[in-house]
């Protein structure tokens, strides 16, 4: 995408964005480019808590592994954009959560290309939204013609704390190979009333009961992160603001 032209809602990757906020940040700096060499291992935790747009281009060499853990919580508009290319036998994992309230607009946009055979990718994304917040996940997995034995999965769930909040989710597959295992799942819902009742019947205040259920909803995405405790603490504090 050219950095000289401001996107419009006709651009699929920016359909749900806060274009006024985007215009104030435009033009965007060049994406961060990361190359993981053959057999290498890359791990990073990313916290977006200032209302910025971060774009990362990640290339994994033969047999390389990469694990990203993302927490998107800050600013009126915050966006994390990942463009990942996997070569033979590479493995990519994304665990991400976005938590927003008031009128926040938070986005996670991913494009994962399986360019060569035998690569695997896993994306687990959780959103918790209150007030008039909007949370968006757009995720495309593309499998090239020669990328046989690809194994890819997208697991996307969103929790709406109020009917005024909005969740957008579009997991997408584009497959040109025939020997692949690709799956995606998406669910948007509300807190389970019976679970809330159970916790409150054990003496927990309503707010604390909601907080416990929401913590369980997002906790798993940070498993194995280098800064797992920090991510958990920041997520819990943000959840506390919503309930």
d(CA 82, CA 70): 11
**Neighbour tally for 39: CB within 10 Å:** 12
Question: What pTM was estimated for this model as a whole?
Answer: 0.94
Where helices occur in the chain by DSSP H, the ranges are 19-25, 193-201, 206-219, 228-242
d(CA 111, CA 153): 13
Whose CA is closest to 214, among 191, 237, 198, 232? 191
pLDDT by 10s per residue, the chain, length 243: 445 789 999 999 999 999 999 999 999 999 999 999 999 999 999 999 999 999 999 999 999 999 999 999 999 999 999 999 999 999 999 999 999 999 999 999 999 999 999 999 999 999 999 999 999 999 999 999 999 999 999 999 999 999 999 999 999 999 999 999 999 989 999 988 899 888 999 888 988 999 999 999 998 999 999 889 999 999 999 999 998
């Amino acid at each position: 995408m050219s950095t000289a032209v401001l996107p419009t809602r006709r651009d699929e990757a920016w359909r749900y964005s806060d274009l006024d906020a985007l215009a104030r940040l435009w033009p965007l700096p060049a994406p961060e480019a990361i190359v993981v060499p053959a057999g290498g291992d890359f791990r990073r935790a990313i916290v977006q808590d200032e209302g910025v747009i971060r774009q990362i281009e990640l290339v994994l060499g033969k047999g390389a592994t990469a694990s990203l853990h993302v927490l998107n919580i800050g600013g009126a508009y915050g966006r994390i954009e990942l463009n990942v290319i996997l070569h033979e036998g590479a493995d990519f994992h994304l665990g991400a959560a976005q938590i927003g309230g008031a009128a926040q607009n938070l986005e996670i946009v991913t494009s994962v290309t399986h360019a060569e055979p035998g690569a695997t990718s896993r994306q687990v994304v959780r959103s918790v939204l209150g007030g008039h917040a909007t949370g968006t996940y757009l995720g495309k997995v593309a499998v090239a013609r020669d990328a046989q034995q690809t194994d890819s999965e997208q697991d996307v769930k969103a929790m709406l704390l109020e009917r005024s909040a909005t969740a957008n989710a579009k997991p997408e597959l584009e497959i040109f190979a025939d020997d692949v295992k690709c799956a995606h799942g998406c669910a948007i819902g509300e807190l389970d009333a019976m679970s809330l009742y159970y916790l409150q019947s054990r003496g927990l205040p309503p707010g604390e009961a909601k907080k416990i259920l929401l913590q369980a909803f997002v906790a798993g995405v940070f498993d194995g992160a280098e800064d797992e405790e920090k991510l958990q603490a920041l997520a819990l504090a943000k959840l506390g603001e919503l309930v």
